[in-house]
Structures are given as structure tokens and as C-alpha cells.
Structure 1
Amino acid sequence: MYDLNDIVEMKKPHPCGENRWQIIRMGMDIRIKCTKCGHMVMMPRRDFERKMKKVLETAEKNDVSSES
């Protein structure tokens, strides 16, 4: 599964030649950002799940509850 700030690989590469995208927004729509040129694309979650190939890197979770 994928989560916010994960790096994913899509089935088709971006025209700049890179195929690594960072998930920067999640909800009904998902916004991804090209890690090479910074271009952002927003698409419905259903389209994203169909076009995503695999998760390359998972984002580190910050445990906020342990700071009290």
C-alpha cells in the first residue's frame, strides 16, 4: 500500500525521463510530484491506483505522541 510522501513508480515515465513520483496529497484525488523536474499532477484515486506500478520508498513516520 502507499501513503503520503512515499516515492512511487508509475507505469509510464514522465516526459522529462524520470519515473519516480512523490505523493504530496491524498484524499479523493491524489497529487504526485516528479522528483526530477518538480511537475505536479493531480488525478482521481482510482486512476492513480490503476497507473501506479509499485512503491519504491516509504516515508518515515514521525511518532508525535512520544514527545509529551
Structure 2
Amino acid sequence: MIEPLNYKLNDIVEMKKPHACGTNAWQVTRVGADIKLICTQCGRGIMMSRFDFNKRLKKILVSAEAE
């Protein structure tokens, strides 16, 4: 079984597909049943279910604990 990534509030994550503006780095701004993300380049916000987020997440770029 694949171990889920431990993402937290204010982490910068990389998604599998890029945003329309050209970047695929997102900041996590809400964690719960739904995940809210803000694009780091253009500032557009989206929400998706935790299930969809876990499928589309590639890796954590910057952890909030590291800052």
C-alpha cells in the first residue's frame, strides 16, 4: 500500500498537471474534507475533495515546517 503524503497548511505542493498560467506549484490554504489551493503565480484559488487532491498530488515542494 502506498503511504499518503503528509501535507499541512501553507505547504507548497506540485500537482501532476500545470495550471493554465503555466505553473504547477500551489499553496495549501485549507485542509479538511476539502482542500483549498492558491496558485503561487497568478493567485487563483480552487477547491477539490481530499480524494481528488491525493490523486493529483505529485510531491511537496516546500514544507511549512521548514520555514
TM-score range, shorter chain: 0.7 to 0.9
Separation (CA, whole Å) in 2 of partners of 1:24 and 1:48: 13
Give the corresponding residue for 1:8: 13
Q: Secondary structure at the match of 2:64?
A: coil
Give the corresponding residue for 2:38: 33
Question: Normalising by the residue count of structure 1, what TM-score does the alignment of the two structures yield?
Answer: 0.86
Question: Normalising by the residue count of structure 2, what TM-score does the alignment of the two structures yield?
Answer: 0.87
- 1:44 paired with 2:58, answer no
Q: Which structure 1 segments of 5+ residues have no match? A: 62-68
Q: Secondary structure at the match of 1:5?
A: coil
- 1:24 paired with 2:45, answer no
Q: Percent identity?
A: 57
Give the corresponding residue for 2:64: 59
The aligned length equals 61
C-alpha deviation, 1:26, in angstroms: 0.6
Aligned Cα RMSD in Å? 1.1
Which amino acid is the alignment partner of residue 29 of structure 2?
I
Could you list the runs of 4 or more consecutive aligned residues of structure 1 that deviate by over 6 angstroms after TM superposition? none
Separation (CA, whole Å) in 1 of partners of 2:23 and 2:46: 14
